[in-house]
Amino acid sequence: MALLETITSPAALKALSADQLPALAEEIRTFLVTEVSKTGGHLGPNLGVVELTIALHRVFDSPRDTLVFDTGHQSYVHKLLTGRQDFSKLKKQGGLSGYPSRAESEHDVVENSHASTALSWADGIAKGRRLNGETDRHTVAVIGDGALTGGMAWEAINNIAVDKTLPLVIVVNDNERSYAPTIGGLADHLATLRTTRGYERFLDWGKRSLARTPVVGGAMFETLHGVKKGIKDIVAPQGMFEDLGLKYLGPVDGHDEQALERALRKAKDFGGPVIVHVITQKGRGYQPAIDDDADQFHSVGKINPETGLPFEVGGRIWTDEFNDEMVAVGRERPDVVALTAAMLIPVGLDGFAAAYPDRVFDVGIAEQHAVTMASGLAYSGLHPVVAVYATFLNRAFDQLLMDCALHGAGITFVLDRAGVTGSDGASHNGMWDMTLTSIVPGLRLAAPRDGEQVRKQLREALDVSDGPTVIRFPKGDVADPLTAVRTVGDVDVLFENAGDEVDLLVVGVGAFAGLAIEAGEKIAAHGRSVRVIDPRWVIPVGDDVVALARRAGAVAVVEDNLVSGGVGAAVTLALREAGVDVPVHTYGIPKRFLDHASRLQILEELGLTADQLVVDLEKRL
């Protein structure tokens, strides 16, 4: 029987001898490559933390001791060592989540896959347990060097450092990357720690040399060791952490399991907060991942495990349309600059960065800083484009409201992966943005229905200089162009089977325009008069939408966003304020967190298919 098959819990792992652990690590890497290549998932990060996760579970006693992963995409090995070895439906409906999940295991604590939160979680857990008298329980936060670029991590460190007796271990998993290479001052500091071992070499020399000195040699070495703080300040840079009041251990080879155990045991026994700096290699043990310069196979689809090549060549995605248009805009407008939060390639700014490297700012995992910095750039006469996943705009809402909108800053926010994203689970669905942005004074939001509209509406947004604009589009292959049959002011009419007055006006928002057309055509086939429109700019609700609603017996709004406070709610309010007394039926995402599944499965469960919409609307009409 393979060693991995015997690991049903951390206790079984502890029963292995040290000599068996290299073979176990090899089995785990083989398992990860074999299984994740079938389903897709975060492969590179997990290949890099095999020995580290083994050591964590041998030194600490989960779940009595708590392990918090930041971010949770590096938790696959943790799942394997806590008895979850069926990866056949990873990130699929009914299968394992791609992140820690409390529903799966008592060993999982933090499910949110947003980065830079683990230290605050760990601080609260450790202090709460101490207040409860549980002084023999330890808390461990495993945080990537990329996540340390987030300001929230440093807010937590600021509080942790002053509590000298807090039983908290901070493991910095330093692989020089988040999605892409980590940048910034902290990254430079960690790089120095990785490459500067002057302190350790100095002490090793001293111990060897003084050991040869009779009688006084040992005492002299102890004296030398006693002034280690001054020596460190001269020959090593870890003083940054120790000056904050945090004990620093490292750097430790993250692929030497025994060295990791020794360091973690020292940290566990220290009696206060400790940083253990661990150097790992993303994609370790799998050459195609190591050779991938872009992201070391950070996240893959279904691939050939032998070659690392995808089985299917993906089509053109929404992000590609934005990427290409930004390059074209950059040639014409030297005032356009771009910002990203450690996601240059995923949000489609790599083309712009290659063409205009001085006009791109990657701020690390620091969305709040990105938005306020963009406000400063706008003040200086530039037009910033802030490109993030829709779910991550949540993190910078205060800055959007108070630094950007309050000051009338001309900033364009481009929200990738808006709406239901599916397999990455609750924290990655971009289902909040239209609800949040709808309350921001002066903000205008466009929801392009296809690639042509992405390009066109991006340019329209960049012409707005007196307040924030938002362009949002979903994950996946871009929709085929949907040609308007006519326009009414700023509104595109996509389908109609009658003259001025209609029984039903269907408002299709963004990527749901195609769904709205399909549903409208089916209702029309039942003998009703129907008009389907795309407002294009959906927040605030335009006068043309109100005028068209005035000539309809009922209105239906279909959106890839929360029903609560979304476009449907905004249309309802706009009609009431205009004295238009027609019923408004809203269709979107209910106010709950969505389990991981495919996008189509989730939409079907929510009733957001053409057939389901038709059945419901026929009842209401």
> Is 302 known to be catalytic?
no
Q: Exposed e or buried b for every residue in 181-199, given b needs 16+ CB within 10 A? A: bbbbebbebbeebeeeeeb
Starting at the edge strand found earlier in the chain, the sheet holding 274-279 runs 66-70, 139-144, 168-174, 274-279, 247-253
Q: Exposed e or buried b for every residue in 408-443, given b needs 16+ CB within 10 A? A: ebbbbbbbbbbbbbbbbbbbbbbbbbbbbbbebeeb
The single residue listed with the structure tokens 């967190």 is 593
User: CB of 139 within 8 A of CB of 129?
Assistant: yes
Is residue 115 annotated as involved in ligand binding? yes
Is residue 145 annotated as involved in ligand binding? yes
Strand partners, 107: none
| Closest to 226 measured CA to CA, from 193, 203, 249 | 203
User: CB of 196 within 8 A of CB of 301?
Assistant: no
User: CB of 435 within 8 A of CB of 419?
Assistant: no
Is residue 380 annotated as involved in ligand binding? no
Is residue 321 annotated as involved in ligand binding? no
Is residue 147 annotated as involved in ligand binding? yes
Long-range Cβ pairs for the range 193-201 (8 Å, 24+): 193/236, 193/237, 193/238, 193/250, 193/251, 193/277, 194/251, 194/279, 196/235, 196/236, 196/237, 197/236, 197/251, 198/235, 198/236, 199/228, 199/231, 199/232, 199/235, 199/236, 199/238, 200/236
Q: How far apart are CA 126 and CA 168, in angstroms?
A: 7
The single residue listed with the structure tokens 């706008």 is 378
> Is 282 known to be catalytic?
yes
> Is 130 known to be catalytic?
no
Q: Is 410 helix (H, G, I), strand (E, B) or coil?
A: coil
Q: Which of 176, 257, 321, 367 is catalytic?
A: 367
Is residue 128 annotated as involved in ligand binding? no
Q: How far apart are CA 178 and CA 120, in angstroms?
A: 19
Is residue 286 annotated as involved in ligand binding? yes
| Closest to 144 measured CA to CA, from 186, 96, 196, 199 | 186
Strand partners, 67: 140
Quote the Cα angle for 289-293-294, to 5°: 95
Q: Is 136 helix (H, G, I), strand (E, B) or coil?
A: coil
User: CB of 287 within 8 A of CB of 29?
Assistant: no
Element (H, E) at 340: strand 336-340
Strand partners, 389: 416
Q: What are phi and psi of 446, to 5 degrees?
A: -110, 140
Q: Which of 58, 177, 282, 522 is catalytic?
A: 282
The DSSP letter of residue 66 is E
Q: How far apart are CA 120 and CA 177, in angstroms?
A: 21
Is residue 73 annotated as involved in ligand binding? yes
Q: Using CA atoms of 565, 566, 570, 571 in order, give the dihedral in degrees to the nearest 10.
A: -140
Is residue 255 annotated as involved in ligand binding? no
Please report which residue ranges of 216-347 form alpha helices under DSSP H.
217-226, 228-235, 239-243, 257-270, 287-290, 318-332
User: CB of 430 within 8 A of CB of 562?
Assistant: no
Q: Which of 129, 284, 395, 522 is catalytic?
A: 395
**Catalytic residue set:** 282, 367, 395
Binding residues for thiamine diphosphate: 73, 113-115, 146-147, 175, 286, 367
